[in-house]
A and B are shown apart, each in its own frame.
Chain A
Amino acid sequence: MLRFLCLSLVLVLVVSMVGCGGEKDELVIYSGRSKALVDSLVSMYQEKADVSVKVKYGSDAQLLAALQEESDQSPADVFWANTTGALGNAVNNDLLAQLPDSVTSRPARFVPSNQRWTPVTTRFRVLAYNSEAVNSEDLPESVADLPYHDDLEGRIGWTPSYSSFQDFVTAMRVTAGMDSTEKWLREMTELSPKSYTSNTPMIRALAAGEIDAALTNHYYVLRLKHGGAEGEYEGHEDEEEHEEEEKAAPASAPVDTYRFQNGDLGNLALVTGAGVLQTSNQSAEAQRFLQFLLSEQAQSYAANRVNEYPMVSGTEVPDYMVPVDRALTLSPEFELERLQEMDPTLDLLREIGAL
């Protein structure tokens, strides 16, 4: 036993020595996007650009907290975020460096005027519902009227602690004002919505019949129905996946996507994005990675495997997705830079007891 303990200690020392050797020329990415969704993309880049890339995965907020505590000693070169609010927060804390036009001219839309980050993919807010339990014709035209849909009482789910929901509330606060947002939230709580920590368990609950409607992002429904990001990217749909889908189908309630009327806040477009950190000592290499994320190859991967909308024009989306232009007309006109001020939103959510 004593020998075992001593041996393991020696092992610690030896292995930590090995771990110490941080190579100078490797690109370090802090990714709020989950490993499951982007790992193959990173491997693709490594092979293509022949550089060593290391990724630290976490939630946006965790990585932001780490970046702030690391301050100027951070080893990170790129911050790749899952949400617009996180990017705004990084700009507010002066973490991101300005990007050259060679990067920011690629996306067709949503580039912030400060050019501190670039949008990479788009997602849309939607209402997911159980098509057996809810008739879509009864659903309101605007998300603003959702609270008056009494028969959803106790049957609707939301994610007050999740960033895209908070971005949506911020957008409502910025467009409709503080008072109406508070009113909407309070009226929503009267429907006694079920709070989930993130969209995945909420969609599972919808599929399990625990709730009948859920305020979520569009791709969660698509991934539930079409498999989505599975396995290595091969550039075409796997036939086996369709078989699986049919097999798995009866094990869940029928879930569908509902979109509110054109231009409604309930269909808001949000983006994922990335920026180069001011502490990076190889910003040219970091910018090259961002350019890769906006390349045809990476954008098509996002559309086919993650079911998010591409940011550069001309990239096809799978048939089962609403076409890009149609999805964009559904979303209201909104400057995404205005999503920076998260604090009043958090205060509001706390005040109504949702957080």
Chain B
Amino acid sequence: MTVARAVRTMRVRWYVTLPVGIVLAGVLVPLGYLFVRAFEADLQTLSDLVVRWQTLRLLGNTVGLAVGVLAGTTVLAFPLAWLTTRTNLPGRGVLTLMGVLPLAVPGYVMAYVLLATTGQYGTLAQTIGVVLPRLSGYDGALIALSLGTYPYLFLNLRTALLGVDPALEESARTLGYSRWQVFWNVVLPQLRPGYLAGSLLVGLHVLGDFGVVSLMRFKTFSYALYLQYAASYDRIYAACLALMLLALTGVVLFLEASLLRGLLLHRTGSGTARRAVPLELGAWRWAGYAFAGGLALASVGLPMGTVGYWMSDTVATGLPWGSLASSLWASVSASAPAAGLAALLATPIAYLGVRYHSGATQTIERIAYLGYATPPLAFALALIVFTLGAVPAVYQTLGLLVAAYALHFMAEAIGPIRSALYQAPPNLEEAARSLGRSRLGAFASATFPLMRRGLLVSVAFVFLSAMKELPLTLLLAPVGFGTLALNTWSYAEEAMFGEAAPYALTIMFFSACFVGLLLMREQAATAREKEVG
């Protein structure tokens, strides 16, 4: 597992080298661009901009919010993941779907919905007479972001829980551990990669979020940064802020890496793992339903219901079917290929990181995450400069947009694949090799089937994110390309919520169908596994 070995492997294997090269370029080009822009200013101006109280305040706010949202999402995601994987609660499939759907709700829609719900003129006050203070600031951002991002953690934990080999737990039980001790000493440590991958996404999402924090008026780095690009004309200060944000991300990535060191979780025995025996909940079932139902109501029911209510006026005057259909096609034609491409790029990166664990492979993986944290507007501007300089023919084509989505959101795809790989034993692949398969063939026949669940989650993550994406689409899409998200934002920005609603609902419904389809495939795959096992 030395660096030399990793480098040699990379040279011979194009199917590894190529994606790694693409990913590195996708991150380093924007980074280079930011440095060039930032250092257009003289040092004095730079230090005046960077060294001031405002920076420290932004730092405190950003870190505080990230920590809060991490705690919030953990509280929401952990019980839900456990309920849907380890118990016999009827309707687990629906609850799982509900646990993914918040990803289909754009952050700013969630924020607008929460703002419309609370306050003395809010929906709650109008309908049931409950006057909650109108959400804003830290609390508002915390609630909106926790409700919107817990699925990242939920799905990663779920994948991890499903992958835990029950034989280990059973051994621990026979050795006299109580259920609780087993959970604490055997199950929890196995969840660490999944938890870290999920919380990393949540953390990075919070660092990069603009939609929610701006509407809740809570000043974080990305808020300050977006203002520079969207409302002022100052690319230099913007570049400084972007670099500071990236540095902060670097620290987070380093922390996560040091927590992941030396993990080995796959089965070493022969045969395949069974599914764990589900826990009989009994009367506790109702507590489970209350929790999962309340969560689904707040994170999916509330936004869908409110948006549906906004739409009621528009329905009367007729829905813009033509525009809806063309926007849906635009969104899907960019998001679906991007999801596939991101999963393809992420697989070798995750594989290298897990199987050839070394400084070099870790660095590559971390760099891929850095791409997720690069502010999308900076990323888009860098791609404009790069494509016009290198390959002007692809500028403002769908291909460029797809590539941009895939590079930007690839980090979301790495985590689930990585978790799945940690639990796939390498000796299966070695056995396939010894039976005469090529490296690629052995991977495809032995490891790939075990990764399927992780891959599905990866594709779902990237697809849902790309469906909601705004800044990259604004700057890089072909001229005249109107996605659902662009239309939603455009109308919401002018306070025309009735007109925005059909587009927002289409995003949510279509994403729900897509995720439902993926989950059905997953269940079919599990059923097959059961038959074989």
A-B complex: 8 closest residue pairs judged by Cβ atoms: A16-B399, A8-B340, A54-B480, A19-B398, A12-B337, A35-B490, A161-B231, A54-B479
Q: Mark B397-423, 1 if CB is under 8 A from A, else 0.
A: 111101000000000000000000000
Q: Is the interface of B mostly helix, strand, loop or mixed?
A: helix
Measured in the bound complex, the distance between the Cα atoms of B493 and A116 in whole Å is 29
Q: Mark A329-344, 1 if CB is under 8 A from B, else 0.
A: 0000000000000110
In the complex where A28-B479, A54-B480 touch, is A65 in contact with B235 (Cβ < 8 A)?
Answer: yes
Measured in the bound complex, the distance between the Cα atoms of B316 and A66 in whole Å is 39
A209 at the interface (CB under 8 A from B): yes
- Chain B residue nearest in CB terms to A195: B217
B171 at the interface (CB under 8 A from A): no
Measured in the bound complex, the distance between the Cα atoms of B497 and A224 in whole Å is 11
In the complex where A59-B230, A89-B233 touch, is A12 in contact with B399 (Cβ < 8 A)?
Answer: yes
* In contact, B316 and A240 (Cβ under 8 angstroms): yes
Measured in the bound complex, the distance between the Cα atoms of B466 and A163 in whole Å is 29
Residues of chain A within 8 A of B394, CB atoms compared: 16, 20
Nearest chain B CB to A41 CB, angstrom units? 14
Residues of chain A within 8 A of B398, CB atoms compared: 12, 15-16, 18-19
Residues of chain A within 8 A of B316, CB atoms compared: 240
* In contact, B343 and A5 (Cβ under 8 angstroms): yes
* In contact, B388 and A73 (Cβ under 8 angstroms): yes
* In contact, B217 and A194 (Cβ under 8 angstroms): yes
In the complex where A8-B341, A9-B337, A89-B233 touch, is A253 in contact with B121 (Cβ < 8 A)?
Answer: yes
* Residue among A22, A194, A229 making CB contact with B494, cutoff 8 Å: A229
* In contact, A196 and B235 (Cβ under 8 angstroms): no
B195 at the interface (CB under 8 A from A): no
In the complex where A197-B214, A201-B215, A224-B495 touch, is A65 in contact with B397 (Cβ < 8 A)?
Answer: no
* In contact, B227 and A161 (Cβ under 8 angstroms): yes
B381 at the interface (CB under 8 A from A): yes
Residues of chain B within 8 A of A201, CB atoms compared: 115, 214-215
Residues of chain A within 8 A of B28, CB atoms compared: none
* In contact, B119 and A62 (Cβ under 8 angstroms): no
* In contact, B227 and A355 (Cβ under 8 angstroms): yes
Interchain Cβ contacts within 8 Å, total number: 192
- Chain B residue nearest in CB terms to A5: B340
In the complex where A5-B343, A208-B119, A355-B232 touch, is A230 in contact with B337 (Cβ < 8 A)?
Answer: no
Nearest chain A CB to B473 CB, angstrom units? 10
B393 at the interface (CB under 8 A from A): yes
* In contact, B233 and A8 (Cβ under 8 angstroms): no
Residues of chain A within 8 A of B333, CB atoms compared: 11, 15
B313 at the interface (CB under 8 A from A): yes
A207 at the interface (CB under 8 A from B): yes
A112 at the interface (CB under 8 A from B): no
Measured in the bound complex, the distance between the Cα atoms of B121 and A9 in whole Å is 49
Residues of chain A within 8 A of B381, CB atoms compared: 65-66, 69
| 10 extra A-B contacts, CB within 8 A, seeds A5-B340, A200-B493 | A2-B448, A11-B333, A34-B490, A58-B474, A65-B235, A73-B388, A75-B395, A200-B494, A204-B495, A229-B494
Measured in the bound complex, the distance between the Cα atoms of B119 and A35 in whole Å is 30
* In contact, A12 and B402 (Cβ under 8 angstroms): yes
Measured in the bound complex, the distance between the Cα atoms of B232 and A74 in whole Å is 21
Q: Mark B298-328, 1 if CB is under 8 A from A, else 0.
A: 0000000000000001001100000000000
Measured in the bound complex, the distance between the Cα atoms of B258 and A133 in whole Å is 56
* In contact, A1 and B233 (Cβ under 8 angstroms): no
B516 at the interface (CB under 8 A from A): no
A55 at the interface (CB under 8 A from B): yes
Measured in the bound complex, the distance between the Cα atoms of B339 and A342 in whole Å is 41
- Chain B residue nearest in CB terms to A73: B388
* In contact, B231 and A8 (Cβ under 8 angstroms): no
The interface of chain B, by Cβ under 8 A from chain A, is 53-54, 115, 119-122, 126, 134, 136, 214-215, 217, 223, 227, 229-235, 313, 316-317, 333, 336-337, 339-341, 343-344, 377, 381, 384-385, 388, 392-400, 402, 444, 448, 452, 455-456, 459, 471, 474-475, 477-480, 482, 486-487, 490-496, 498-499
Nearest chain A CB to B154 CB, angstrom units? 22
- Chain B residue nearest in CB terms to A306: B494
Nearest chain A CB to B365 CB, angstrom units? 20
* In contact, A16 and B397 (Cβ under 8 angstroms): yes
A61 at the interface (CB under 8 A from B): yes
Measured in the bound complex, the distance between the Cα atoms of B230 and A334 in whole Å is 26
* In contact, B495 and A58 (Cβ under 8 angstroms): no
Within 8 A of B (CB), among A1-32: 1-2, 4-5, 7-9, 11-13, 15-16, 18-20, 22, 28
Residues of chain B within 8 A of A59, CB atoms compared: 230-231
Within 8 A of B (CB), among A210-265: 210, 220, 223-224, 229-231, 238, 240, 244, 251-253
Residues of chain B within 8 A of A196, CB atoms compared: 217
* In contact, B479 and A56 (Cβ under 8 angstroms): yes
A190 at the interface (CB under 8 A from B): no
Measured in the bound complex, the distance between the Cα atoms of B230 and A257 in whole Å is 27
* Residue among A62, A208, A223 making CB contact with B121, cutoff 8 Å: A208
Nearest chain B CB to A289 CB, angstrom units? 14
- Chain A residue nearest in CB terms to B487: A35
Residues of chain B within 8 A of A18, CB atoms compared: 398
Measured in the bound complex, the distance between the Cα atoms of B395 and A217 in whole Å is 37
Nearest chain B CB to A121 CB, angstrom units? 15
* In contact, A9 and B482 (Cβ under 8 angstroms): no
Residues of chain B within 8 A of A295, CB atoms compared: none
- Chain B residue nearest in CB terms to A64: B233
Can you sample 30 A-B contacts with CB below 8 Å? A1-B455, A8-B337, A9-B340, A9-B341, A11-B337, A16-B394, A19-B398, A20-B393, A35-B490, A54-B480, A56-B479, A56-B480, A57-B474, A62-B377, A66-B475, A70-B384, A73-B392, A89-B233, A162-B231, A166-B231, A194-B217, A201-B215, A205-B134, A208-B122, A229-B496, A230-B496, A238-B317, A342-B232, A346-B232, A346-B233
A198 at the interface (CB under 8 A from B): yes
* In contact, B493 and A198 (Cβ under 8 angstroms): yes
Nearest chain B CB to A21 CB, angstrom units? 9
* In contact, A15 and B217 (Cβ under 8 angstroms): no
In the complex where A11-B337, A208-B134 touch, is A19 in contact with B229 (Cβ < 8 A)?
Answer: no
- Chain B residue nearest in CB terms to A27: B479
